[in-house]
Structure 1
Amino acid sequence: MKIIVVNRNYFVTGGPEKYMFTLLENMPHHRFIPFCVAFEQNRETPYSKYFVAPPAGSGSVYFNEFRMSAVQKVAYACNSIYHREARRNLERLIKDEQPDLALFLNAVYFSDSIIDACRAQNLPIIWRQSDYNRVCTNYLLYRDGKVCEECLGYGLSRAVRNRCGGYQRSMAAAIIKTTGMWLSRMRRLHNHVDFFVTPSAFTREKLIQGGFSPQKVVHIPTMAGVPEEPPEPLPVSPEILFVGRLSHEKGVATLLTAFGLLENENARLSIVGDDASPYAQQLKDGIPDRLRDRITFHGFRGQEQIRLFFEHAYCFVVPSICYENQPNTVLEGMSHARPAVVSDLGSMKEMVADGETGYRFEAGNARDLAEKLDDLFNNPRKAQEMGLRAREYVMNHHSLQKHLSSMEVLFRRCLNKSKSDATGGFQIHDADPESFGK
């Protein structure tokens, strides 16, 4: 089967890219054809001639790196609403390669032009949702330091009023983002996507709440590799690990406050993630002198180094104050038999069984987090048992083979639906999409 994979980057920067390359490496019986932005960091591929020009030069990947002229800013705004180059290039790729279906991952950059490109060639579409970009202009259902669901309940006008424009909190950005989403809804483009895939049941509920058809939203838990060798026992030293982006919604400030409240004065905290941002510096500057020698910011680290951090950790913390969409960090830590301590928001409620595979604490409540950590330190046997149950959970519910099998079923159902729609012989509810991955 030929499958076009649409994703912003063709190199690893986060979860969608890790997922993409895992599929490519573990489903060799399919031919995956990438369609991405032409960044210089991309892996080599013969399909790069179809890639879309980057907004601010091939070396600038992230929004805070963009240095755009006035003309480039106008073009970027227009492309955010409808990316004509993406449509042209994708249509050309489809005509040249004659694929069987398209799999969209982190594809919101290309706007809904890519849906039109596939429609023009009668190409079935599966879109995997890594965030809430189809129902929230900020992508996170998060605003001003707290969860926000106003657009789900009151419509997109709230996004303009609240200046929600993705990475920018400006009226102009909010209008651009809202216009694109409004046009998409007016044209009912979601009807032309065969299936939306969500890694968590929670995200599925939010998409349905945002107006998506329940029959089209498929919950397939994401995959996690479990080390073949037996897990390392918990270390004697109480080492706490955080791995992730150092931004406000990740709740690192709550973790730092909780660390200062711990009864165990031998505990140490390792923070792994890019620490070059102004916000990261603000976090560092706010650490009391008495704690500085027990908190280490390690900066960005590769996957192999992160694996070693988990092996040396006593437990790991995901203190997010936003709705997470089944974060890879939780699964990775649990696969190393480390007890998880996570906030009680979003999908983490379904990932961590409180008191069984770890602890959940009230999001933003540093005192509650500190008490959960001290309990783990005071009860090492219980912590070890939690970690082992966490590893077993990942093996049973998030194995690579189980995920690939579910995706294989979905690929086949998508093709069968496309072929039978013309004759009316296949109804989408016959696929029972909610059962996938369970």
Structure 2
Amino acid sequence: MKITYITNLYPPSIIGGAEIVVEKITKKLAKEHEIIVITNNSKNEEKIENKIKFYKIKTNIYPVKNQLTESTILKPLWHAIDLFNINAYKEIKKILKKENPDIIHIHNYKGLSPLAFKAAKDLKIPLVFTAHDYSSICIRANLLNGKGEICENPRIPCKIYNKIQKFLIQDKPDIVTAPSGFVMKQLENAGLFSDARKIVLPNPVETETQPVEKSYDTLDILFVGSLSRHKGPDILIRAFRELENDNLKLHILGKGPDEDELRKLAEGDDRIIFHGFLSGDELMGMYQRANVTVVPSICYDNSPIVIYESLMNSTPVIASRIGGIPELVRDGYNGFLFEPGSVVELSRILKKISEDPSILKGLERNAYESSQKYSIEDHVKRLEEIYRGLL
């Protein structure tokens, strides 16, 4: 098969887990199929890497990878251009006409315009869409308001934006997938993709690893993610500082807009270490060393890659009971769940394991075993079945 992936980011450009998932999938599929990737860039570029043909296209006043650092003054303009980006539409359609793929699979599309859906359907090519977040129903993609709280009642500009976007993408995909049932439910509640077949397909991980033996001389607690309030790192730091044990260390991996504030919050506690952004073997080494990974999100996380990566390295997960997280973390089986935002409850769990690390033994075994059902091989086979079904 000849398959075109449309994704706003592709490694080494990384903001979240979606682009990591797309890279894993495309590299596996490229061994048996012809793969084309259309992605966003600061300039137009065409090249072939690892048997994958890339079209990197410039579509807006700045590339989507700059979204976190660009001026807030420019962001409304960027979103307005993206919504009606005729140039992006024409460029994507031109590439699709040239390549004439059997299947088009859209992942995160902000920066490549919702008109990418129209470009695919204009050519009557079967279309699959994967919802990695809430971009289809929220301009911020995380269902949070400007205060960083769950958005119960969107502002009028947001409602107008969502209505226009719904008109542009509604009824375009033949099949919609999402890594969690929670996200799929949000799309259904918003009245999106009513005519499409819907499939919950969890994210994939490499399962060729072996169970990891842990040391308990020092309990290493790990946070991996964006240093942004909605991911809850401040909640973790506050909970950690409630504990007086000297045998604890908190490792914070990532970067983000709230890093300076978080460093101030951790000031004076030598047990808290900021490592910056890590990837590849360095990141995997941190998971293997860690005794637990904490995912303290206060937003409706979809299906965080950090949980999959932690489980595959035999590392139990302590996480907020929110969004799609409880579909991956079973309380008392491969980790613990706590009420989102509760410093007290999280601190209590951390205190419990610090006083009796033997609790972790069974959780580690279950963490590794639960990761095995998310193998990249099974994921790719399922995708091939979906694609062939459309053909």
Equivalent of residue 53 in structure 1, options 46, 58, 65: 58
C-alpha distance after superposition, 1:275-333 (max 9, x if no partner): 6x4x21011112352x2x11111111122111111111111100011111110101111
- What is the TM-score normalised by the length of structure 2? 0.90
User: For residues 104 and 272 of structure 2, what CA distance do their matches in structure 1 show?
Assistant: 45
Quote the offset at 1:185 in angstroms.
3.1
Contact between 1:6 and 1:34, CA under 8 Å: does it hold in 2?
yes
Aligned counterpart, 1:196: 176
Aligned partner of 1:121 in structure 2 is 123
Secondary structure of residue in 2 paired with 1:394: helix
Q: Secondary structure at the match of 1:375?
A: helix
* Counterpart for residue 141 of structure 1: 143
State the Cα distance separating 1:227 from its structure 2 match: 4.7
Alignment of 1:236 with 2:217, yes or no, is yes
Maintained 8 Å contact 1:137/1:178: no
Instruction: Return the offset for 1:57.
Output: 5.7
Corresponding residue SS for 1:142:
coil
Aligned AA for 1:313? A
| 1:277-296 map, 5 Å | 277=257, 279-289=258-268, 291=269, 293-296=270-273
C-alpha distance 288-95 of structure 1, shift in aligned 2 (>3 A):
closer
Instruction: Specify the code of the residue in structure 2 equivalent to 1:194.
Output: D
Change over 3 Å in CA distance of 1:286–1:400 after alignment to 2: same
Moved more, 383-392 or 79-88: 79-88
Q: Which amino acid aligns with 1:355?
A: G
Question: For residue 29 of structure 1, what is the aligned residue in structure 2?
Answer: 32
Against the structure 1 CA distance between its residues 106 and 74, is the aligned structure 2 distance closer, same or farther, given a 3 Å change threshold? closer
TM-aligned CA distance change 1:117 to 1:215, over 3 Å: closer
Q: Looking at CA atoms only, which structure, 1 or 2, has the larger radius of gyration? A: 1
SS for the counterpart of 1:127 is strand
Pairs within 5 Å for 1:379-398: 379-395=356-372, 397-398=373-374
The structure-2 alpha-carbon separation of the partners of 1:43 and 1:342, relative to structure 1 and needing over 3 Å to count, comes to farther
Residue pairs, 1:20-419, within 5 angstroms: 20-27=22-29, 28-39=31-42, 44-45=47-48, 51-56=56-61, 61-66=65-70, 76-143=78-145, 144-150=147-153, 158-160=154-156, 175=157, 178-186=159-167, 189-212=169-192, 213=194, 216-274=197-255, 277=257, 279-289=258-268, 291=269, 293-395=270-372, 397-415=373-391
More helix by share: 1
Q: Distance in 2 between matches of 1:74 and 1:372?
A: 42
Q: Report the more deviating stretch, 308-317 or 32-41.
A: 32-41
CA distance in 2, matches of 1:48, 1:226: 27
Residues 168-216 of structure 1: CA distance to partner in whole angstroms, max 9, x if unpaired? xxxxxxx3x65443224346x3212111110011111111111132853
Give 3-state SS (helix, strand or coil) of 2:250's partner. Answer: strand
- Change beyond 3 A, Cα 1:42–1:201: farther
User: Structure 1's 372 and 40: CA in aligned 2 closer, same or farther, altered over 3 A?
Assistant: farther
TM-score by length of 1: 0.81
RMSD value, Cα: 2.6
Structure 2 portions without partners, runs of 5+: none
Measure, in 1, the Cα distance between the counterparts of 2:211 and 2:290.
16
In 2: Cα distance, 1:321 partner to 1:227 partner = 32
Unaligned runs of 5+ in 1: 151-157, 161-174, 416-438
Take 1:43 and 1:215, find their aligned partners in 2: how far apart are those partners?
A: 32
Task: Supply the distance in 2 between the matched residues of 1:43 and 1:333 (Cα, whole angstroms).
Answer: 35
Aligned residues: 384
More strand by share: 2
How many percent identity over aligned positions?
Answer: 25
Contact 1:339 1:384 in 2 (8 A): no
Q: Distance in 2 between matches of 1:226 and 1:413?
A: 27
Q: Do the aligned residues in 2 keep the contact of 1:227 with 1:335 (CA within 8 Å)?
A: no
- Alpha-carbon distance between aligned partners in 2 of 1:371 and 1:207, rounded to the nearest angstrom: 35
> Contact between 1:9 and 1:42, CA under 8 Å: does it hold in 2?
no
Higher mean alpha-carbon deviation, 100-109 vs 10-19, is at 10-19
Q: CA deviation at 1:87?
A: 1.2
Q: Contact 2:42–2:57 (CA<8 Å) still a contact in 1?
A: no
